Structure 1
Amino acid sequence: MPASESPTGPATIIPDPVTGEHEKNYSSEKHAVDMENVRGTETQYSLDKVGFQWIKSPAKHTSFKDEDEMKKEYYPESVDLIKKVTGASKVVIFDHSNSFRRNNPQTRPPVTQAHVDQTTKASIARVHRHIPADEVPALLKKRFQIINVWRPIQVPALEWPLALCDYRSVDVENDTLPVALVFPDREGETLEVKYNPNHKWKYLRGMTPEEAVIFKCFDSVQDGSVAVFAAHTAFEDPSTPADAPVRQSIELRALVFYD
């Protein structure tokens, strides 16, 4: 459901910390969008070329309900994975989210709003928020990124799969809408994505826990030589079997730095 209308003033979302509902001052429209299943040709897609990359990399840590255990075990192996794929010298995971709907399938499904997690402004703010102040100036002088790692948990992701948009098909100036996220203690900023029939959406049908997708939310290199971000969204796949298991997934968000 790409964002399709702009507000008269600055676009704003105010999340309710209790209910999880969002109050926003703009509206959206649903659009039927072609989603290409790239199973069999997924190796053609790379981070710098399109903004995302699928990899075969089974996680050593497979229990994701214990937060402390996950941070102790899954975070470090994911840092190593990001470094291996990107060649980065420093990776700092600052956030994660998981989807566990097994015990209550009637809860709301994943959000179907095409988006990018951070704007340039928000990405720089993340560095200041999560990195020691004395390290920030030197790190910001070089290339840095925000990269997410998403993978299914326990069962293949047939229900509400994750789709990503080829960066080369996005008109950044006209297709994106900066939106302020207003929390009680801080303000972030995300990019909502407007509908454009030229967008090229891709997904890997039936992703397994042995597979992951790594995608950019920000890249400080913005000279046209590389993809800067990958808009993404969950979507309702009409080919999903009626008896498909409820989707479970884990997503990490990381600051990625280079020498």
Structure 2
Amino acid sequence: MAAVANFVKRDDRYKTEKPYLYHGPEQEGFPHSNLIYEESPLSLTDLRHVLDFKPTMESHGFCFIENKSKELPTLVDESNSQPYAVEMAGVLKKLLNATLVLPVQTRLRSSNKEEQQSKNRAPAGTEAHIDTTMFDAWPRIKMLLTPEEQDLVLSGKYRARIMNFWRPIINPAEAFPLAVLDPTSVDYSNDAVAIDQVAPMGAAETLYLKSNPNHRWYWKSNMTPDEAIAFTQYDTHPPEGRLNQIGHCAFRNPAARPDCPPRRSVEARFTVIEPAPYEKPTTLADPHPPEMLKQPWREFIHLPENPPMWKPSFAREDMQVLEVA
């Protein structure tokens, strides 16, 4: 039995109709999604057993690290996640030698359906995806930046990244572990499709992936709470000028024991700012071009004018300790 994940099916409907996911109450005659998925096997490499290959942030846009968190044992839910997020921002600042690291959001996940309902845990997402698109990135990046910092990023003199930091909680991640996709193995123009993420008060855009046998996926078996993955979701100054957005997903692990504990994990998202390794013009603040595809959800959902796309979980004034003078 192969390890599998869910991918967007290559279907002709998406030549005229944009895929969407609706996160809101049921509405008669309005399906929550028009996505068609297909299960596909992953070409997986377990880095636990490949000691001579160590991907780095600059070479691959992701890395696996060892890190024992002091705050992880106190993490109960997202409402008390700020101490953990601040601690991990410090880890990222040191890892990347960054000027500024700002926690934006945290999310606790579980592969247990009862926990998802009773404790409001997000499911372990088995859809291969990237959290943002080029046009979605700037609203996320600027949320916690001062006008002066925004100008530095828009000038191209400063590099801005959206980063994720993922680790298991309590138990090793045996069931539904996380895998990350080598960006050098992706044909983004053919393998990625923009998805509208729609809520009653706003909409945003993410990328979902189509299966491709050329994709190279990496994971570490039985990751413990003392191990983590840092990976890029957007980068204004990617190495060698290539795209640097890391696809990721949970997958059905055929080696997992039937009675193993459910996967419990936490992911924290950050905005990272530092002097750019090279100068280049930016189009970050450009508006999204007119949508050429039909957006079926617009027949049912009428958003307010200038709706918010993302809301940070943390306030900037609580994060000043992470800045470098």
Given the two structures, how large is their TM-score scaled by the length of structure 1? Answer: 0.90
Question: Are 2:211 and 1:195 equivalent residues in the alignment?
Answer: yes
Could you say what secondary structure the match of 1:258 adopts?
A: strand
Match of 2:20 among 12, 35, 48: 12
Q: Distance in 2 between matches of 1:28 and 1:68?
A: 33
Residue type of the alignment partner of 1:26:
L
After superposition, the C-alpha distances for 1:110-130 in whole angstroms (9 at most, x for unaligned) are: 221100001111111112333
Distance (whole Å) between structure 2 residues aligned to residue 103 and residue 169 of structure 1: 33
3-state SS of 1:127 partner: helix
Question: Could you say if the C-alpha distance between residues 65 and 171 of structure 1 is closer, same or farther in structure 2, counting changes exceeding 3 Å?
Answer: same
2:160–2:236 CA contact under 8 A, matched in 1? yes
Q: Which amino acid aligns with 2:129?
A: H
How big is each residue's C-alpha offset from its partner over 1:191-246, in whole Å with a ceiling of 9 and x where there is no partner?
Answer: 10111000001110000000000001111124734661110000001011122111
Which of the residues 134, 145, 149 maps onto 1:135?
149
Q: Which residue of 2 aligns with 1:235?
A: 251
1:104, distance to aligned residue in structure 2 (A): 2.7
CA distance in 2 between counterparts of 1:249 and 1:66 reads 11
Q: Which amino acid aligns with 1:190?
A: T
2:92 to 74, 82, 97: 82
Compared CA separation, residues 75 and 109, structure 1 to 2 (3 A): closer
Residue 252 (structure 1) shift: 0.3
What are structure 1's unaligned runs of at least 5 residues?
none
Report the equivalent of 2:105: 95
Instruction: Name which one, 1 or 2, has greater alpha-carbon Rg.
Output: 2
Aligned ranges 1:160-171 → 2 under 5 Å: 160-171=176-187
Query: Is 2:56 aligned against 1:51?
Result: no
1:69 aligns with 80
Kindly state the Cα deviation for residue 172 of structure 1 after the two structures are TM-superposed.
1.3
* Bigger shift: residues 233-242 or 176-185: 176-185
Report the equivalent of 2:125: 111
For the structure 1 residues 240 and 84, does the alpha-carbon distance in structure 2 shift closer, same or farther, using more than 3 Å as the test? same
- Return the letter of the residue paired with 2:105: D
Residue 41 of structure 1 deviates from its aligned partner by 3.2
Report the alpha carbon displacement of residue 67 of structure 1 after superposing the two structures with TM: 3.7
Name 2:307's counterpart in structure 1: none
**Deviating more after overlay: 114-123 vs 176-185:** 176-185
The Cα RMSD (Å) is 2.4
Instruction: Single out whichever of 225-234 and 204-213 deviates more from structure 2.
Output: 225-234
CA distance in 2, matches of 1:210, 1:37: 18
Residues 49 and 227 in structure 1, CA contact (< 8 A), matched pair in contact too: no
Superposition deviation, residue 167 in structure 1: 0.8
1:27 to 28, 36, 60: 36
Distance 1:181 1:170, change over 3 A: same
Deviation at 1:10, TM superposition (A): 2.6
Give the percent of matched residue pairs that are identical in Structure 1 and Structure 2.
29
Counterpart of 2:61, as a letter, is G
After superposition, the C-alpha distances for 1:91-123 in whole angstroms (9 at most, x for unaligned) are 111111102466936969522110000111111
C-alpha contact (below 8 Å) 1:49/1:226 kept by paired residues: no
Match of 1:41 in 2: 50
Q: Taking structure 1 as reference, are residues 179 and 161 closer, same or farther at Cα in structure 2, changes over 3 Å only?
A: same
CA distance in 2, matches of 1:242, 1:163: 20
SS at match of 2:265: strand
Which one is further off, 24-33 or 212-221? 24-33
